[in-house]
A and B are shown apart, each in its own frame.
Chain A
Amino acid sequence: MPETRTITLRINGREEEGRFPAQRTLLEALRHLGHMEVKCGCEKGDCGACAVLLDGMAVDSCLTLAWMAAGKEVTTVSGLGDLDSPHPLQTAFADGGAAQCGYCIPGIIIAAKAIIDAHPEPSEDDIRLGLSGNLCRCTGYTKIFEAIADAAGEMRAEGGAP
């Protein structure tokens, strides 16, 4: 049997514990812990559907080993906001028609958060480059670009990113 280890992950501000073998990815661990909002699209780092923030940096959770995330802060799309109190990105995506089938959206909103954190007033090139690791097959990206620009504007108007 491969070695397993109990690790503590800080997920969306809450500490959660799980016992995982060394080869278990962060994606598998998060879904095992019930974080079904993190989607599996390829398990190869090609599509970005599983993106989460790890200590504030967008990573593909399928390429990150669970053990490596121990003690770090993991943020999923559900950690940014919820139905009652959505993040400006979530509002902009929903109201702007940027989510169609929606399967890529948890990863794309995480990538978008990282873009805005780095560029509070992102140019179109900033947005495109920041999304280059995320695939979407439904939208053609146009409404996604618009939603990110809208959300960034909203966040600046609110006086700083939440």
Chain B
Amino acid sequence: MTQTDVDPGTLANVQFRQVGKPLTRTDAPGKVTGRTPYAGDYVMPNMLHMRVVRADIASARLARLDVSKARALAGVACVLTADEVTDRTAATDIPGQTGQKRLDTDQPILVKDRVRYFGEPLALIAAETRDIADHAAELIEFELEPIPGVYDPLEALKPGAPLVYGEDNIVAERKIRKGDVEAGFARADLVVGNTYKTPFQEHAFLEPEVGLAWVDENDVVNIRVSTQVIEHFRPIADAIGVPHNKVRVRGALVGGGFGGKEDLTVEVYLALLAKQTGRPVRLEYSREDSFVGHGKRHPFILTYRTGVTKDGKITALDVQMIADAGAYVFLSPYVVLYALVAAPGPYRVDNLNVFAQAVATNNMYTSAFRGFGALQACTAYEQQMDEIANTLGIDRLELRRRNFLKTGEPMSTGFVPPSAIWTEQCAEKAWAGLGEPSPEKGPIRTGRGLACYQQSYGRLTFLHDTSEAWVGVEMDGTVVVRSGVTDIGAGQISALGQIAVEVLGVTLDNVVIYNSDSAVTPLAGTTTATRALYMTGNAAKQAAEGLRARLAERAAQEFGAAPDEIDMAFNEVFVIDRPEQRMPLVELVRTCAAEGIHRSELAIFRAPFSDFLDPETGQGQAHPDYAYGAHAVEVSVDVETGEVEVLKSIAAHDVGQCINPAAVEGQIQGGAQNGQGYALSEEMLYEEGRLVTPSFSEYLMPTAMDMPNVECIILESRSGVGPFGAKGIGEPAMTAVAPAIANAVADAIGVRVFEMPITPERVVTALQQRDAS
């Protein structure tokens, strides 16, 4: 089902032994046999069970909170309310670097007087058993006096709207002013204007938020938790009022993240109660807790006005974006920044205005989710490309071809991405991959859609991101990698192992990777922003290369050769042109040990550092680099019921260099699923801020019955800034899926549904409107 294309020009002198092979991931055997402990599988003697009590109205004043009966219940160890916690907040941010307005906009740990969203935590309980904790929760009495709330960002922007906080509900504003948009529109033969709407989305990782905390012999609060970011030990320490070196966060293999475990989840609650009770405490969210307890994907309203010539060249683009930030800031300023930068997509647009706002409402707060604003932009710009093509009567791929940004050209921010831009190759392969059209029958119409994308990998460059890794070799020739990186299921740590053993010439079964411990593994940064392979992979490669250089120098001495004549492979060290001169790696390591030569290396990788984008023009460098690719689908639509089925789903991505092709395909196929649900079926319904779909029987993600077999076409330009020329694929895998599906549905029925998800009701309504007009 998969074909791999390598540019033959880039193949010279590249001969990998481990990298690029579909090896069994180091974490796989434990997972398939049930051996792998996840964060929720740890228990301790004398452990207490926690429960969070939440507000059941979205906008209210907390008039009364009485926990006395709960505290009096036998078996209850502790109940905490805002009265007992300080005024500290539990927000995720890097102060001073977002440039957002920050007026009391961070979420308090527990509600003191004002409830701003449905499910906001009021109290924490720790009890001897889960049953007692549940019983105690029922004994907590609270009165909420409703305050008029605002649940639509457009309403929230109107003068006189209820204020969630601040003066105007505006959380962040960003803009791009590039070229001369008025002149561009004047030159256009045609202006196409449309508004697209994207929905909330739930991450729906199968493992709900969970953790276990205890205070150790050094008075350090230890937290074993399912998280994408162990470096939250700093805000956790700030929140509970201890020095940063008194909190230790240990991850575990994470049961899915997708951005939903990027912010703090249960950590602060655990730390507070471990500290307060002096006993181990465990907190596991129920599925309903998980639905209301972490931020969602931002819904966006995106208005695109594009000027084009008759032959399909874009002359100007004006974009207005409004994102629903929900009730607290979290990562909204970053998300709208990503959307801003991504606004024109992988196209050359020299005359560009973009204005993006994040607006506070009393909906669930919104934050990180795979694609992070850039995905919402893609959803709009790729539907817009089809609208333009159809208006002009130009083939949809051909219109894109005439506008693609090419290698070496400046993108929206004026920055020239350093790597190859292979959007066109990807688009052609994905589109051709659809093959012969499927037949139509009765009420079934079929249609095809294509979408291309540009998605960053690596964090914003003004954040000055770094990653450390340690690589060492043991006396028996086995290899140890230490990196703080969390593995959220994409094979992050296995890739580090593959990179280290490639450099050191050992086999993957000879490496162990210690990861995800803020106290003992070198801090490697977050597993977010498609940065793990890029940042930690480069760090591990540097560390392994440093170690290899030292080993090679000693071996060269042994063989009477130059260090660059030494190679290492299959657990042996040898002279490249005289392979009879060889010795087992283990022998060389023992020689080094006997002579006091270092058998390890600690390296730091630094992403490019830049200043913040120019606040007036939005020009400058935003990210280290970008990934490009395309997704093509064929759908069938039942014009009587409005039901959409995805028949073919074909992805073509330039991943730079595959480290593990099986893992790359896995990311692509999972991204296709995540995007398909977003496009068609996943719907979070809120009534005045109250979530009415808090379960998997109401929030419908694609099942085994819904997913086509996703075909992966992997291109390798070897031009990325990751290890061995790799780019990232975590987020890019999802970005273009939903607009491809939307375009296919429009192709099938001849009318566009401008709001996702494209439910049967919306399809039928669109068909009725088409027939009426």
- A interface vs B, CB < 8 Å? 36-44, 46-47, 49, 76-78, 81-83, 86, 89-91, 93-97, 99-106, 109, 127-129, 131-132, 134-145
Contacts and interface: CB of A to CB of B under 8 A. Distances in A.
Which of B28, B662, B672 has the most A CB atoms < 10 Å from its CB? B28
Given A41-B206, A47-B696, A78-B34, 7 more contacts: A36-B34, A37-B35, A99-B25, A103-B38, A109-B32, A132-B705, A143-B665
Contacts of B25: 94, 97, 99
Interface stretch (B252-260, B325-333, B392-400): B252-260
A145 B666 CA distance: 13
A38 B32 CA distance: 12
A40 B286 CA distance: 9
Interface string B26-68: 0111111111111011000000000000000000000000000
A36 B30 CA distance: 13
A131 B254 CA distance: 23
Contact of B255 (A90, A94, A102, A127): A102
B295 to A, nearest CB: 17
A96 B28 CA distance: 10
B679 to A, nearest CB: 14
Contact of B672 (A101, A103, A140): A140
B670 A138 contact: yes
Given A40-B40, A41-B287, A140 B258 contact: no
A44 B696 contact: yes
A25 B254 CA distance: 25
B499 interface: no
Contacts of B663: 97
Given A100-B491, A135-B701, A90 B662 contact: no
A131 B666 contact: no
A44 B670 contact: no
A132 B24 contact: no
B208 A142 contact: no
Contact of A140 (B206, B208, B669): B669
A129 B34 contact: no
A137 B674 contact: yes
Given A77-B34, A97-B665, A138 B697 contact: no
Interface of B: 1, 22, 24-25, 27-38, 40-41, 203-208, 253-258, 284, 286-287, 488-491, 660, 662-663, 665-666, 669-674, 695-697, 701, 703-705, 707, 709-710
A135 B255 contact: no
Nearest to A81: B33
A10 to B, nearest CB: 18
Given A100-B670, A101-B254, A137-B258, A86 B707 contact: no
B709 A142 contact: yes
Nearest to A99: B31
A140 B663 CA distance: 13
A83 B253 CA distance: 18
Contacts of A83: 29-30, 33, 35
Given A41-B207, A131-B704, A135-B701, A76 B666 contact: no
A94 B695 CA distance: 30
Contact of B662 (A97, A103, A106, A127): A97
A65 B35 CA distance: 25
Contacts of B705: 128-129, 132
30 contacts: A36-B37, A37-B34, A38-B34, A39-B207, A40-B40, A41-B206, A42-B287, A49-B206, A76-B34, A78-B34, A90-B29, A90-B33, A93-B32, A95-B28, A100-B666, A101-B253, A101-B488, A102-B28, A102-B31, A102-B489, A103-B38, A103-B207, A134-B704, A135-B703, A137-B206, A137-B256, A137-B258, A138-B670, A143-B665, A145-B709
A103 B208 CA distance: 10
A139 B286 CA distance: 23
Contact of A138 (B35, B36, B666, B695): B666
Nearest to A42: B287
A138 B707 CA distance: 12
Given A83-B33, A101-B205, A137-B206, A44 B697 contact: yes
A136 B212 CA distance: 25
Nearest to A38: B34
Nearest to A24: B131
Given A137-B670, A142-B707, A103 B256 contact: yes
A87 B669 CA distance: 25
A51 B572 CA distance: 46
A127 to B, nearest CB: 7
A25 B672 CA distance: 35
| 10 A-B pairs with the lowest CB-CB distances in the bound complex, closest first | A37-B34, A101-B489, A103-B255, A102-B31, A97-B662, A140-B669, A46-B696, A94-B28, A131-B704, A140-B673
Given A77-B34, A103-B38, A138-B670, A94 B24 contact: yes
A44 B287 contact: yes
Contacts of B256: 101, 103, 137-138
A78 B27 CA distance: 16
Contacts of A141: 669, 673, 704, 707
A59 B244 CA distance: 46
A36 B205 contact: no
A135 B257 CA distance: 15
B36 to A, nearest CB: 6
B38 A140 contact: no
A100 B24 contact: no
A29 B21 CA distance: 42
Nearest to B675: A140
A102 B36 CA distance: 9
Contact of B695 (A38, A40, A46, A49): A46
A138 B287 contact: no
Contacts of B674: 137
B670 A140 contact: yes
A137 B701 contact: yes
Contacts of A104: 206
B29 A86 contact: yes
Contacts of A47: 206, 287, 696
Contacts of B203: 137
Contact of B24 (A89, A95, A138): A95
Contacts of A97: 22, 25, 28, 660, 662-663, 665-666
Contact of A101 (B40, B207, B208): B207
Nearest to A31: B41
A161 to B, nearest CB: 17
A128 B205 CA distance: 21
B617 to A, nearest CB: 39
A34 to B, nearest CB: 9
Contacts of B40: 40
Nearest to A93: B32
Contacts of B660: 97
Contacts of A109: 32
Given A97-B666, A140-B670, A142-B710, A128 B704 contact: yes
A91 B28 CA distance: 9
Contacts of A37: 33-35
Nearest to A131: B704
A82 B35 contact: yes
A43 B704 CA distance: 20
Contacts of A132: 703-705
B632 to A, nearest CB: 15
B287 A43 contact: yes
A42 B660 CA distance: 32
B206 A39 contact: yes
Contact of A137 (B22, B36, B205): B205
B106 to A, nearest CB: 29
A131 B38 CA distance: 23
Contacts of A78: 33-35
A57 B379 CA distance: 43
B34 A142 contact: no
A132 B700 CA distance: 12
Given A41-B287, A46-B696, A103-B255, A86 B32 contact: yes
A105 B707 contact: no
